[in-house]
Structure 1
Amino acid sequence: MCTASNYITKDHYFGRNFDYEISYNERVTITPRNYKFEYRLIDDIESHYAIIGVAAGVDGYPLYYDACNEKGLSIAGLNFEGNAVYLEEKEGMVNVTPFEFIPYILGTYSNVSEVKKALENINLVNINFSEELPLSPLHWMISDDTGAIVVEPLKDGLKVYDNPVGVLTNNPPFDKQLFTLNDYRSLSNRNPENTFSKDFDLDEYSRGMGAIGLPGDLSSSSRFAKVAFTRANSFSSDGEEESVSQFFHILGSVEQQNGCTFINDPDLYEYTIYTSCYNTNKAVLYYRTYSNSQITAVKLMSEDLDSAELINYRLETEEQIAYIN
């Protein structure tokens, strides 16, 4: 289960918590402009926008979990168990598989407006990557500095929603997630007035009482409400370090600690394996991992983007502590 968010100061920031019980040797993967994308049902694409993101450790093909391209368009795929439906090939449509969706979108389009128009003709086809890697049930948040959308594959085709809160978790579908925020409309970052009764002199005994009722558990709906409130009320200056730091604090409000979410296995718990943060305007990927709280950065524009070979960097997973005495 995961949480994605955007955040805008001077630049546009986008990223996610990747929450799962096991790692697939995730790594930072850069796809240069001339890497050949081979598709199952549409023509291969030999030249496209350069992409940086976090992908599974599968040699030869970038199975991106989240990424952004050199034009500032970003996307993350989140688990959508029980709701995602992939269809059969449809004549007259652009038939791409779910594992091809992120490379196709980021390699082809430069902004959310272009993507919204293209989605009218895209069909997500039920073809596995391999026998060993079946499709994951996913929905996606796509974002740039003009706004965000959510794309959900349902039995009657793709649903595309504008995303005014800049947040996505897993279930239920996005329109229902958005509706649940009505239950928290009375919350505030300021302490409330006493409206309980004029007959009782109730004590304002603590700061933060305006957010009483904000959920703190790790379910999808609760994480959606928690990070939506945190993002909406976040404040930072617009410098790069301050903005990046604040973004990690936003997603840190719903990170999962190892041991708190039990999976049906005596040795497995869901936890936040990594948190990503993209400055999409500058094409820089910042990340932290569960065992390394130091922020690591990788710059797309520092690479040879006209090459044809994937560029990979392993995630830094060992804690790095700065001793001062």
Structure 2
Amino acid sequence: MKKTILSLFLMASAITYPCTGISLRTQNGDLVQGRTIEFGESNINGKIVISPRDREFKALTTEGKINGLKWKAKYGFVGASVVVDQFIGEGINEKGLNAGLFYFPHYGSLAEHEKSKANISIADMELVTWILSNFETVDEVKEEIKKIKVVNIGYDDKGKPLPTAHWRIGDVKGNNIVLEIVNNGEIKIYDNKVGVLTNSPDYEWHIKNLNNYINLYSGNANSFNVNGEELFSFGAGTGALGLPGDITPPSRFIRAFFYVNTIGEVENTKLAVNKAFHILNNFDIPIEIEFPKEYKGNIPKNVISATQWTAVSDLSNREFYYKTMDNSQIRKIDLKKIDFSSVKYQAFPMDKEKDNFLEINIK
């Protein structure tokens, strides 16, 4: 397993994971969190993971050694994995706590692993599992994260640590934060007031960058007359002229912010989940556009979209929704119907059948 994990992440370090996350609130203050996850180098083989209460964990540390932090799960959770089953990219636990990781190259900087502190160390790719299995609220996470050391999963052939992540965490009370670890282990926590997260640069930079787009608004620009010449909108949406459409993290942050903050009030969580998927559809990335012409012969044949899966969590109702690149049908897992005291740990493919088409028979 060690060789598989490291070889996949060494390969991944050369290409980006352009993930996009959004948060929607209902009129009652309920929180719904959604996100995409992208990878173009290979199929990340995402699985749905069901993890029970009282499951015992032992964390990985540098170079994939299983000699890190030990704990027993207080809570069961449902999540979507990345590459291997123990790496949860996004999930929700039975108490309504949601967490997910987002690629954070060049800015994330974790503490150097110390063998003497292995018992309080955990690999960055396992942090979501630790959060979901241990905590009920954001405040608990903020307090307990100070007591552990988050370390890299490994190093590249030049001795540099592999790129890490930053994390989005929300709870049923409506609290929503971004966790970033920089400067060799310095923990920074931000209230995610704008309800958006993408990738690098850091969260503070993205917030400042919003000021470059204060001219954008929903609807149409007003018509006006110049020396007898009437100027008018050709079609809908001229108030958003200048909204960036490329796939860089700053542009996706701006675009997601615009969508989240122009959709109007959301009456309930069912509508919020529906709207979240519609917004996230705008961030599906066709795999070919990520790569230069000379690379296109190397695009894996079993990856039909860089956006390999999209997930939405309804925190108040403890529901986890997802769709994949192979099947756009939205599927739901209701955590309230799972007995986490008796359910067995399991990880199964996100798609039973890779068929995105339903034939309608006409009689």
TM-score (norm: length of structure 1): 0.88
Q: In the alignment, which of 4, 17, 23 is matched to residue 6 of structure 1?
A: 23
Q: Map Cα deviations across residues 252-286 of structure 1 (whole Å, 9 max, x no partner).
A: 12221232221645232861111001112222211
The match for 2:325 is: 290
Equivalent residue of 2:251, what SS?
Answer: helix
The match for 2:64 is: none
Moved more, 150-159 or 260-269: 260-269
Residues 1:17 and 2:36 aligned together: yes
Distance between the aligned counterparts of 1:102 and 1:279, measured in 2?
17
Distance between the aligned counterparts of 2:146 and 2:69, measured in 1?
19
Contact persistence 1:35–1:308 (CA under 8 A): no
Residues 1:315 and 2:350 aligned together: yes
Residues 1:62 and 2:86 aligned together: yes
Residue identity in the other structure for 1:158 = I
Change (3 A) 1:62 1:321: same
Distance between the aligned counterparts of 1:226 and 1:33, measured in 2?
39
Residue identity in the other structure for 2:78 = I
Equivalent residue of 1:245, what SS?
Answer: helix
Contact persistence 2:49–2:348 (CA under 8 A): yes
Contact persistence 2:110–2:183 (CA under 8 A): yes
Q: Map Cα deviations across residues 235-263 of structure 1 (whole Å, 9 max, x no partner).
A: 46534543222110111122212322216
Q: In the alignment, which of 242, 252, 266 is matched to residue 271 of structure 2?
A: 242
Per the TM alignment, residue 29 of structure 1 is displaced from its structure 2 partner at its CA by 0.4
Residue identity in the other structure for 1:140 = W
The match for 2:13 is: none
Residue identity in the other structure for 1:30 = I
Per the TM alignment, residue 147 of structure 1 is displaced from its structure 2 partner at its CA by 2.9
Contact persistence 2:96–2:316 (CA under 8 A): yes
Q: In the alignment, which of 26, 30, 49 is matched to residue 29 of structure 1?
A: 49
The match for 2:74 is: 48
Residues 1:218 and 2:250 aligned together: no
The match for 1:143 is: 170
Contact persistence 1:226–1:254 (CA under 8 A): no
Distance between the aligned counterparts of 2:212 and 2:109, measured in 1?
29
Q: Map Cα deviations across residues 146-202 of structure 1 (whole Å, 9 max, x no partner).
A: 232111121241221221111111111111111111111111113233689798642
Residues 1:74 and 2:102 aligned together: no
Residues 1:152 and 2:180 aligned together: yes
Moved more, 147-156 or 171-180: 147-156
Identity across matched positions, percent? 28
Moved more, 235-244 or 72-81: 235-244
Residue identity in the other structure for 2:59 = Y
Contact persistence 1:6–1:143 (CA under 8 A): no
Contact persistence 2:136–2:171 (CA under 8 A): no
Moved more, 91-100 or 227-236: 91-100
Distance between the aligned counterparts of 1:7 and 1:324, measured in 2?
37
Q: In the alignment, which of 63, 88, 98 is matched to residue 112 of structure 2?
A: 88
Distance between the aligned counterparts of 2:150 and 2:226, measured in 1?
55
Q: In the alignment, which of 137, 142, 154 is matched to residue 111 of structure 1?
A: 137
Residue identity in the other structure for 1:177 = H
Contact persistence 2:224–2:230 (CA under 8 A): no
Distance between the aligned counterparts of 2:345 and 2:43, measured in 1?
21
Q: Number of aligned pairs?
A: 320
Residues 1:172 and 2:201 aligned together: yes
Q: In the alignment, which of 330, 337, 342 is matched to residue 302 of structure 1?
A: 337
Distance between the aligned counterparts of 2:148 and 2:208, measured in 1?
27
Equivalent residue of 1:248, what SS?
Answer: helix
Instruction: For structure 2, list consecutive stretches of 5 or more residues without a partner in the other structure.
Output: 1-17, 61-66
Change (3 A) 1:199 1:97: farther
Residues 1:230 and 2:247 aligned together: no
Name whichever structure is richer in helix by fraction: 2
Q: Map Cα deviations across residues 9-40 of structure 1 (whole Å, 9 max, x no partner).
A: 25321121111112221111011102111235
The match for 1:181 is: 210
Q: Map Cα deviations across residues 93-123 of structure 1 (whole Å, 9 max, x no partner).
A: 9532212311211222211122223334443
Residue identity in the other structure for 1:66 = E
Distance between the aligned counterparts of 2:83 and 2:100, measured in 1?
17
Per the TM alignment, residue 125 of structure 1 is displaced from its structure 2 partner at its CA by 1.9
Change (3 A) 1:206 1:37: same
Residue identity in the other structure for 2:337 = S
Q: Map Cα deviations across residues 34-74 of structure 1 (whole Å, 9 max, x no partner).
A: 2111235665222411111101363xx52101111111111
Contact persistence 1:144–1:280 (CA under 8 A): yes
